[in-house]
Structure 1
């Protein structure tokens, strides 16, 4: 089976061709580096041709090119020599360090350095003249110099590649953070939109169904009044939310986050919508003010629980209980459930998910489901929502 050799790089072909032409021109002009050697005439063209061929594989097979190039350079010392041969050998040494393996890049500079020292000491001991040091210097220029230059270039390229890789990784992490931030913000906006508007829309749906199904002018009039009230309040909530999302809306005043002080108005609105609600707020009136995130989460949990009760609860009393402990605020909303006698609004289940997310973001616990242990007259069927929101004592009273 034939083995396909790698195709030489275009630059390597140009270097080999130009070096060979220059070497032939120098030889034809009689310009030799070591005239008077034992092999004169055309013998100098053989190492020249071999080194030119090795230039073709300086990238694809750098270590092989260096080994054969060293043999060709040793053979060139027995001929009259050629400056082009020396230049091609230095380029092969340089390419072996730059394009070779990491082990070769570490080994070649050390080897050429030791060879340079050995040649210098050897010729100095042989000739016993200071001029012998020049031979060692030339050896270093031809071998050790290109090797160290290759190390510098290779290190620079590796540092550049590492910096490029770090930049790409940083950009990737920044994009991941941006996507996560956008996702989290969308989830927050979805919770706010659901909590702000769902209560009003549920009341509108229930009372409009009642108005259409009951042939009673007085009942229809009361239902239409409730529908109008919830429509106006829902529209105001939507405008406030849009004002937060749009900087060019003209609403420069930030919308105040709801607090537990508004629970009375929230319960009153639920009663207006036809829900029988009892509020038991066991918090001390003079107690320290809760952190804003805790108050917002508690308000939204009560609001969503009342919305769910309006949509799904059976006739009966809905109780809202709040109790402030030293390190937590507990919220419990119970409502009878079963087959409601009146119309009911459809539900998507997003409300329970939103309440759970709000609680978990604060490190609290959340439970929602049937509570058979509760005392009720409605066949023992009670739906209970229970949330515990941690309160750091260090944060209490931070905002007066």
Structure 2
């Protein structure tokens, strides 16, 4: 019973759309102006072509012939953006033409029939099948009430033509609608995947930086706790203050461990090894060379020590860039450049064109999402793009000064 009611409501909704509904369709992109200009030109040309026939075919008096020709051609202009309104006007002009119908000829001029069929096809491409079904039913009613009593053969031929056109336009419209919906769903899925990858990469970065922050907090706790023994002659208030600082640091370490437990996706993912930095870069490049990727390292500027956050992020950016090279350009020659600029560490990974297809079995990673997130976290920038020789370059600039909005800890 509920299904029957739903079908009836859908049919009544389609009838209401045909009678008084709008041509606005959810998800339909706004069209450009040039189709409307083309429609206006075609309307004018069709009106001029029908001006003489309006007087001879329908017998309209000369003063009203231009207006009649314009009304017959106006649906061409409307169907560009408002096909349902164009069909309504074409249907009204078809009914109005019956007042000028002369026996021995078709009720409608061939041009008028072509315009009507064009509006019918446009409705099928733009609106759902329930609306197209009511339009088809109204067209069939007019054919069998007007043409059939005069000429049965013409009525049958018109029925076949209109039915085939309706089915074709409805099928094409359904296909276009399905493809549009698929594109929307695909775009939504890609956005969700990108958002999930971003959140996962942020959690990964937070887990890595936990060791860095924990190290600094441990130093604060140890220094504050041992200060009364290293610095003699301190007043009791100072010793109490150092004790308070040590206790707060240890409480912060406990809370950080709890936070790290929330960020971990599984209990067995705890990484016991310290996070690598630029000092581990030679080992990484050696592993990449053994895997079959020729890579060279270059350094610009005088090396200087960097903070732990910059150190870890620079290493991970190089590591992920080399993984992307192996995944997308296997066999390509790679150059890793570390530039020690004033106030910023610059990392560039440049590869040439691939020597073969993508490496089999390599799944998609976080790639540029994670690298860009690491650079942004430190207040830096990351750019990536094709080179002139068909290769690819990743360039990250990591400021040495912590970003006040949330940079290096």
Where on the TM-score scale, by shorter chain, does this alignment land: which range?
Answer: 0.3 to 0.5
Structure possessing the higher radius of gyration over alpha carbons: 1
Q: TM-score, normalised by structure 1?
A: 0.42
Q: TM-score, normalised by structure 2?
A: 0.42
